[in-house]
Amino acid sequence: MNVLLIGSGGREHAIAWKLAQSKNLSKLYIAPGNAGTSECGENIPIAANDVDKLVSFARQNDVGLVVVGPEDPLAAGVVDAMEKAGIKAFGPSGGAAALEADKAFAKQLMRASAVSTAEGRIFDRFSDAKKYIASRDEAVVVKAAGLAQGKGVIICDEPSDGILVAEKIMCDKIFGSAGDKIIVEEKLLGEEASILAFVDGHNIYVMESSQDHKAVGDGDTGPNTGGMGAYSPAPVVTDEMMDRITREILVPIVDGMNRNGTPYKGVLYAGLMITSGGPRVLEFNVRFGDPETQPILMRLKSDLLEVFLAVCDSKLDEITLNWDQRPAVCVVMASGGYPGDYEKGKKITGLKEAGRLKDVIVFHAGTKKENGDIVTNGGRVLGVTALGEQIIDAKKRAYEAVEKIKFDGAYWRRDIADKAIKNSN
């Protein structure tokens, strides 16, 4: 089967790497891809959000399955367009993608489905938001309701800071139209976890747990990013907790989407805070997380292409996933200045040396090939991922690989997986 994978990040390289192992794969195309995905298949110079060109390419190249990585083309309805053209596509419809693309919709659905989440209010006028935030006397979380590449959530320990942030989002448009509407929530306390599940409209198959590191700095300091590293599994998610998450969050949301007339197919990502009172939802995403995908897929032993097809055909109940019991750790190497301004085009060295280490894969994110070299082409450049007998071993191996890779201005957090190590002791 010929497969077209849409996207160009670390998530897509991990998906491409796993798909390339399938015995059912004939040819893998990646649009537009990066320097790493070119080693797994053929990169195609079509933008991830150019729906018409993607459909035409799929038709002309006998593509049997389209796999959508990022949220933007999902929200733009690329799955609907592919299915209209008679091409099977993995991912939710444009209507179902509102679960991530419109946080206000997600909030309302959670309320209607009795899913535990932070108390919050939705605003489409700054004056109303300002008045509400001024009435609070504790920390608030201000969220752009639309898609903001994982950066539209700002925690404000002082309500006065929340007013300034709301103004920047709604009036100064620091996240563009994503900030036309905002959500102001209470700050939840606990430990975060990422739960990803395959959903075929009715059946739910939960993957191994993981934890992301959103803040740019060690100790979860500084502004939020798309993610600076991840590990799997997350010790904070016990078997008992996973049962609660499935029963109290995943099942009600999938049922709610069906009641809403937007049945859900694809990967459902629940970003959670594990509080003293149980799991509460921070956000939903409608695709694989990045960088959680890297350690999760490194641990997956099953054929990913078979899973994708089972989801599309509503036969997820016929699939069994097998996992490497060893934990995995992913450390993101970023461009200096990220998530703010940064330079591109920096030559990367040491990739082969890092990749030769046992149980290490260097997943590319913001990279491209230029004049025979591999150079930086984004904020998050690489996701260096390693397996280990214990979480501390996986961390050590990942950082050993990181030290072998060089590019001007390279930056990475040095505490990825420390929470897991602490919880494992």
How far apart are the C-alpha atoms of 276 and 189, rounded to whole Å? 8
pTM of the model: 0.93
What architecture does CATH give domain 328-424? Alpha-Beta Complex (3.90)
How far apart are the C-alpha atoms of 76 and 175, rounded to whole Å? 18
Yes or no: say if 150 and 225 are a contact pair by the CB < 8 Å rule: yes
What CATH class has 191-318? alpha beta
What architecture does CATH give domain 2-93? 3-Layer(aba) Sandwich (3.40)
How far apart are the C-alpha atoms of 49 and 6, rounded to whole Å? 9
**Which of left, alpha, beta for 66 (phi over 0: left; psi -120 to 50: alpha)?**
beta
How far apart are the C-alpha atoms of 70 and 403, rounded to whole Å? 29
pLDDT per residue rounded down to tens, the chain (425 residues)? 999 999 999 999 999 999 999 999 999 999 999 999 999 999 999 999 999 999 999 999 999 999 999 999 999 999 999 999 999 999 999 999 999 999 889 999 999 999 999 988 999 999 999 999 999 999 999 999 888 877 788 899 999 999 999 999 999 999 999 899 999 999 999 999 999 999 999 999 999 999 999 999 999 999 889 999 999 999 999 999 999 999 999 999 999 999 999 999 999 999 999 999 999 999 999 999 999 999 999 999 999 999 999 999 999 999 999 999 999 999 999 999 999 999 999 999 999 999 999 999 999 999 999 999 999 999 999 999 999 999 999 999 999 999 999 999 999 999 999 999 987 76
Domain limits, the chain: 2-93, 125-180, 191-318, 328-424
Half-sphere exposure of 345 (CA within 13 A, CB side): 2
Tokens 């942030």 belong to 165
Q: Domain 125-180 belongs to what topology?
A: Dna Ligase; domain 1 (3.30.1490)
Yes or no: say if 329 and 235 are a contact pair by the CB < 8 Å rule: no
